[in-house]
Amino acid sequence: MFRLALHWQILIGMVAGAVLGIALNLFASEGQTTVTERLPADVTEATIHESSADISLSYTNDAGDRTTWTVKPFKEADDDPDRWVPTLEELQKIDPFAASIYQSHGGTAATKAGIWFKRLGGLFLRMLQMVAVPLIITSLMSGILGLGQAQGVGRMFRRTILYYLATSILAIITGLFAVNLIRPGLTGEAPPAVRSAVVAAPLSDVLFAQLEAMIPSNPLGALVAPNFLSIIAFTIAFSLFTLSVGGEVADRIRAMTTAGFEVMMAMTMAIIHLAPIGVFFLIAYVTATQGASVFRSLAWYVVAVTLALAIHAVITLPLILKFVAKRSPIEFAKAMSPALLTAFSSASSNGTLPLTLSSVEQRAKISNRTGSFVLPLGATINMDGTALYEAVAVLFIAQLHHGQNLPLSAQIIVALTALLASVGAAGIPHAGLVMMVIILQAVGLPVEMQGIILAVDRVLDMGRTTVNVWSDSCGCAVVEALELKSSQATDSQPASA
Ligand code: ASP
């Protein structure tokens, strides 16, 4: 029977989800509700008016006083500054009663459907989360134990880190280039700042915490959390010591992990077939709930980030793939497409990891030894898209704040902190936002200004996560090619050497 290739199925799921979501957002995001019953004794009436651009919520008390809230991402000139909030979460903090009216009586067909799409897409993400930890452990162990000797791990580690560093720096340079060229913050239509409640620890603390995570005081606790960096560090240590103990012990552990890995891989491959449906719901959720209005005043900023991400993904990484890994970028992208499309719709590198691992090994034919080493580490510390994004966003905020570009010295500080922040960012949705506070502080910009870009973060997160996963995947091809070269060189040396 004819069956469409998986990447086409996922693409169709994605387009169908987007069409449904956009249609809902266009045609079913208007609504007006008047509530007169089941209200507290001192409230006589409440009304909710919703459109895709904003929510207006008002209630009247028995003395006749009327309170009206406007909920929308950007404040406009005719909005009362004291009665405007960017999100419903913010309203919950300031006026919990108003928020509760919305929760019990509000919600258009688009927002209600959006909640269900999120839940249903969430089932697919849960399946991926379910396999992530056992898959990473068995995959990493069978990879390292398959090496047969400990020295190989050191070499692979150095190469992997070098690749991560080089591509992240290239990504940041591309970001700086785009934001200096387009100057999105100097176009004259600056959106007003939104309150932002993110508080960040100093960068040194964040990075030191990463180092601490590599020495888990309780490896089982790390498994349960799950803390990927701790799990990876402990698994590598355990595997290396298994190799050093050697003999029958190593053989037994090797047989066990290989068996476990095979089963986990079979499970992941089964889940992969659900990706078209999962992606359909995730995209429908985003498009149904995020109206086009959020793009209005941030259009140039979105253009700058997207352009830079595209240059990195479509030019820089493919060139590395072609000339260092000697692979066809198009074929490789096709092989990685289930992972890339899932990264785009889920905005989570960690969540996508099981698909990245299986696509690299089963579809791109990269050895388990390389894939299992490069990818889990990459999902946590190699984030080209995030590094690039941080650089563009902070320079955009600086342009808005100072009315001019940051001087070169400050841009270098942004670049360095963006690199470190991308290492520290977790592979989950919106992680990059939290880390950005650190960079803003490093160059003395007001943290609240981050609120300006909140509205478009989800969409940009989808793009940068895809680039993060794409860079990890290209890293596998590069490391694999270099490893092959080294092993051929060793094989061709005379036996006495
Ligand atoms: N969502 C991104 C990821 O999972 C991290 C970020 O927010 O930049 O890779």
Is the pTM higher than 0.95?
no
Which tokens sit at 238? 């355990």
386 lines ligand 1 (CB under 6 A): yes
Residue 448: pLDDT over 70: yes
Residue 497: pLDDT over 50: no
Ligand 1, residue 385: give the atom nearest the CA: 8
Q: Which pLDDT band, with edges at 50, 70 and 90, does 345 fall under?
A: very high
Q: How far apart are CA 133 and CA 222, in angstroms?
A: 10
315: DSSP letter: I
Which pLDDT value is given to residue 495?
A: 47
Ligand 1, residue 348: give the atom nearest the CA: 4
- What one-letter code names the amino acid at 238? F
430 lines ligand 1 (CB under 6 A): yes
456: DSSP letter: G
383 lines ligand 1 (CB under 6 A): yes
Mean model confidence pLDDT for the chain: 87
CA of 431 to the centre of ligand 1 (A): 5
* Number of CB atoms found within 10 A of residue 372's CB: 29
Pocket residue to mutate for ligand 1, from 128, 464, 467, 469, most atoms within 8 A of Cβ: 464
* Number of CB atoms found within 10 A of residue 336's CB: 25
Residue 332: pLDDT over 70: yes
Half-sphere exposure of 342 (CA within 13 A, CB side): 33
348 lines ligand 1 (CB under 6 A): yes
401 lines ligand 1 (CB under 6 A): no
Residue 296: pLDDT over 70: no
Q: Which residues contact 434 (CB under 8 A, 6 or more apart)?
A: 198, 200, 425
Which pLDDT value is given to residue 423?
A: 84
Which pLDDT value is given to residue 474?
A: 97
CA of 458 to the centre of ligand 1 (A): 10
pLDDT digits (tens, 9 = 90+) for 132-157: 889 889 988 888 887 666 667 888 88
Residue 14: pLDDT over 60: yes
Which pLDDT value is given to residue 62?
A: 83
Ligand 1, residue 352: give the atom nearest the CA: 4
CA of 220 to the centre of ligand 1 (A): 26
